[in-house]
Amino acid sequence: MAKLIIVSNRLPVKLQEKDEELSYKPSEGGLATGLGSIYKEGDNLWIGWPGLVVTEDKKQEQITTDLNQENMHPVFLTETEIKEFYEGFSNETLWPTFHYFSQYAVYDQQLWETYVAVNQKYCDAVVAQAGPEDTIWVHDYQLLLLPSMLREKLPDSTIGFFQHIPFPSYEVFRLLPWRKELLEGMLGSDLVGFHTYDDMRHFLSSVNRLVGYGSMHGWIHTPSRSLLVDSFPMGIDYEKYSGTAALEEVKKRERIYRSNLNAEKIILSIDRLDYSKGIAQRLEAFELFLERYPEFHRKVTLLMLVVPSRDAVEKYKELKEEVDEMVGRINGKYSHISWNPIQYFYRSYPLETLSAFYRMADVGLVTPMRDGMNLVCKEFVASKLDQKGVLILSEMAGASKELSDAILINPNDINQMVDSIYHALVMPEEEQMQHMRNMQESLQRYNIHHWVSMFMDRLSYVKIKQLSLATS
């Protein structure tokens, strides 16, 4: 029977080793939740890196056996591959370019060659597990070449590709020395999905100008085959976030944190440490807010969680220093013996703590410079069981296309951000609740399960349509 194989850079598990003991913790990411019920069914499989460099053959065998029991199959990467493929080409070339930070992009032939070799490694791992009739769903920018590599080996298989980060406009994408190879890699798919219509348009325009294939209603007809490009805005596991927010334990935590914070109003900011998330710009806006609205001193606290990420990459180290310095400066300037304007945490927290933070925040401040979708803003909305609270959201996040009931801002417009913080803090409850209700209705309906079934249904439709195109 045909099966589904999911392929992503990382497996939905955190593998850890302590005192020679291996432990496996399920990952809490949205993708793992959304696809969790599918990859565990029957012979379905998830292929990816388990998150740890393991060189010993015996240990690799042990991990493979353990993971196989959970319908997962590991691809082992060496330290050099992690450095050049993951930290290097994926996070120092593609990530900045795709988030419109081309000035940060590194163009290095050696990194590219390792990227090609590692994509080939994933291809070999998939081919070893796949039958000719299987459906393969490839995820994200680390594996852009994989669809074509797979197509060559498994010409009849069904291949879907979804990109979780933005696709930049042609003028930015064309800066990459390997632009054509990257597009050709993606074109091996039957269906290519993005979060937004704009990302999809940018991709089609690059394909047209760099590879020479036009498109009609998202269909690209190459000399050998046809494929579809479409947008699939990713949702969250709504029940998980609203359910967690309803737990007694979470309500208790909220009460404790609130009484410890000593602020009438709480503004919440949560992101991975990343320059694309606009953390420094957000701090600048908050500083200007404190300067312009002294009546909020000792009343408002910005609760800022920054989750450590990619700390081996130079730009991320620099950003960490910049954020540390800014928080210190602002707190140094405005703190009072019983009040800190910013409570800053550089670590990650369990879901229950996160949920208590979502519950207690009066304002969710989500202001990325660029974001494929952004799930934090959706989780904030889903956690607002009493429907009180205001979301300030960047226009540059994919989520802004769905959440028009948020206060939408341009993260480069510092005055607009300052005004929005003020308006959010003084918004009448009635109005807050109306906007929150509208957003909740939409997120409840377009949840992660809806996203998975939309993508899978469209993929089946493409295969049927291809047959009729081939015979007409």
Binding site for ligand GDG (CB under 6 A): 28, 30, 164-165, 234, 270, 272, 305, 307, 348-351, 354, 371-376, 379
Q: Is the distance from CB of 309 to CB of 274 less than 8 angstroms?
A: yes
- At residue 97, the 3 state secondary structure works out as helix
Nearer Cβ to ligand GDG, position 93 or 215? 93
Min dist CB 142 to ligand GDG, Å, is 12
Q: Both tokens of residue 206?
A: 């690059």
Gap between the Cα atoms of 126 and 110, Å rounded:
25
End-to-end CA distance of the chain: 29
CB of 306 or CB of 342, closer to ligand GDG = 306
Cα gap 169→191, rounded to integer Å: 20
Nearer to ligand GDG, 241 or 289 (CB): 241
Is the CB of 87 or the CB of 371 nearer to ligand GDG? 371
Tokens 């969250």 belong to: 236
Residue 18: closest CA among 67, 69, 55, 52: 52
User: Cβ(219)–Cβ(227) under 8 Å?
Assistant: yes
Distance CA 198, CA 382 (A): 26
Q: Are 123 and 149 in contact (CB under 8 A)?
A: yes
**Smallest gap, in angstroms, from Cβ of residue 396 to ligand GDG?**
10
Which CB sits closer to ligand GDG, 63 or 270? 270
CB 389 within 8 A of CB 362: yes
Alpha helix segments (H runs only) across 335-428: 351-360, 376-382, 414-426
To the nearest whole angstrom, how small is the minimum distance from the Cβ of residue 175 to ligand GDG? 20
Decide: helix, strand or coil at residue 392.
strand
Angstrom distance (rounded) from CA 348 to CA 18: 20
Give 210 or 351: the residue with its C-beta nearer to ligand GDG: 351
**What's the min distance (Å) between Cβ of 133 and ligand GDG?**
28
157/281 with CB nearer ligand GDG:
281
Q: To the nearest whole angstrom, how small is the minimum distance from the Cβ of residue 91 to ligand GDG?
A: 12
- Work out how close the CB of 6 gets to ligand GDG at its nearest, in angstroms, rounded to a whole number: 14
Tell the smallest beta-carbon distance from residue 375 to ligand GDG (Å).
3
CB 250 within 8 A of CB 358: no
Rounded to whole angstroms, how far apart are CA atoms 312 and 86? 11
Query: What residues form DSSP beta bridges with 72?
Result: 46
- In the block, tokens 């990325």 appear at 368
State in angstroms the smallest separation of the CB of 169 from ligand GDG.
Answer: 17
Of 3 and 310, which CB lies nearer to ligand GDG in the complex structure? 310
Name the token pair of 392: 């300030």
Choose between 116 and 307: whose C-beta lies nearer to ligand GDG.
Answer: 307
Q: How far apart are CA 206 and CA 212, in angstroms?
A: 9
Q: Closest approach of Cβ 398 to ligand GDG, in Å? A: 6
- The total of other beta-carbon atoms located within 10 Å of residue 472's CB is 5
Cβ-based nearer residue to ligand GDG, 272 or 298: 272
Tokens of 460: 């089946």
Question: What whole-number distance in Å separates Cα of residue 10 and Cα of residue 237?
Answer: 20
**What minimum distance in Å lies between the beta carbon of 214 and ligand GDG?**
28
